[in-house]
Amino acid sequence: MPELPDVESFRRYLNRTALHQTIARVSVTDGRVLNDTTPQALGRRLNGRRFETTRRRGKFLFAQYADDGWLVLHFGMTGSLDYRKTGDDVPKAAKVVLRFDNGRELLYKCPRMFGEVGLTESPDDFARARGLGPDAMDDALTKARFRELLDGRRGTVKSALMNQSILAGVGNIYADETLFQSGVRPDKSIDKIAPSVLDDIHRALRRVLRVATDHKADITDLPRGYVIPNRHKDGRCPKCDAPLKHTEVSGRTTWYCAKCQK
């Protein structure tokens, strides 16, 4: 689930739930999700603190608990957050639990273990160290900048969109949607795409991410004309009703309309 719109939804969720609550206890039920830290270090840093602000860069969520202290959350393919009344029945998927002094707790769930939890002194430094490109929704990602970032690249347009070091936040689902909305085949070579079509892709990308975020990344709630709900066998093009094709691009299942995307 977690691509940019999902992580942005998690960020807003954290903002209206766990923000400003004092952390009373940190428990780690599966240390494999920790990146470059330990359960002890996590507890030592967070106990008695409160998250005061949050940020997001691509698919990473940051929650600030001190001037130079941020919790880093990444959700892999299946991660999520759940803020609830403290209970004994901690679900198996909950790998890290932050208990607050108000009787509530924030569960970091990650059933498939591809996510990570860590600490950083600065989200910008963290992003630099990870080689993340500009956030796909950042105002700084103008169409001129978008052209620049893709200039001279090889490979398919879909793999470029999903490359987090070019731009951060787009994954398999929203790459497909962006290319559907802009009428470009996902397996098209990036160097064969005219600059004006790159502008189309840029426009579609921003609109798709904004609309998905507005709909809380609930793909069952997307407007008509979106291909995402039709990514399945028997799925049809929402524009021309032709059966959708599926193939593999950069190792990911890829759905597209052979009539509408060239």
Partner DNA sequence: TTCCATGTTCCGCA
Partner DNA sequence: TTGCGGAACATGGA
Site of interaction with DNA (CB under 7 A): 1-3, 6, 58-59, 74, 76-77, 92-93, 111-114, 130, 153-156, 159-160, 162-164, 170-173, 248-253
Please give the backbone phi and psi of residue 22, each rounded to the nearest 5 degrees, phi first: -75, 130
Q: Which is nearer to DNA, 105 or 135 (CB)?
A: 135
Q: Which is nearer to DNA, 59 or 185 (CB)?
A: 59
Q: Catalytic residue at 2?
A: yes
Active-site annotation holder among 203, 206, 207, 252: 252
Q: To the nearest whole angstrom, how small is the minimum distance from the Cβ of residue 68 to DNA?
A: 22
Active-site annotation holder among 59, 95, 158, 185: 59
Q: To the nearest whole angstrom, how small is the minimum distance from the Cβ of residue 102 to DNA?
A: 30
CA pair distance 253, 146, nearest whole angstrom: 25
Q: Catalytic residue at 116?
A: no
CA pair distance 94, 106, nearest whole angstrom: 9
**Four-CA torsion 160, 163, 166, 170, nearest 10 degrees:** 90
Partnered with residue 189 across adjacent β-strands are 156
Q: Which is nearer to DNA, 3 or 105 (CB)?
A: 3
- Indicate the residue type of 162: M
| Residue 190 contacts residue 160 (beta carbons within 8 Å) | yes
Q: Which is nearer to DNA, 87 or 152 (CB)?
A: 152
Query: Angle at CA 67, nearest 5°, toward 65 and 71?
Result: 35
Q: To the nearest whole angstrom, how small is the minimum distance from the Cβ of residue 187 to DNA?
A: 8
Q: To the nearest whole angstrom, how small is the minimum distance from the Cβ of residue 89 to DNA?
A: 15
Q: Residue 26 belongs to what H/E stretch?
A: strand 23-28
Q: Catalytic residue at 59?
A: yes
Q: Which is nearer to DNA, 46 or 208 (CB)?
A: 208
Active-site annotation holder among 2, 123, 134, 186: 2
Q: Catalytic residue at 252?
A: yes
Question: 59-84 burial, b if ≥16 CB within 10 A, otherwise e?
Answer: bbbbbbbeeeebbbbbbbeebbbebe
Q: To the nearest whole angstrom, how small is the minimum distance from the Cβ of residue 126 to DNA?
A: 11
| Residue 182 contacts residue 165 (beta carbons within 8 Å) | no
Active-site annotation holder among 3, 8, 105, 116: 3
Residues identified as active-site: 2-3, 59, 252
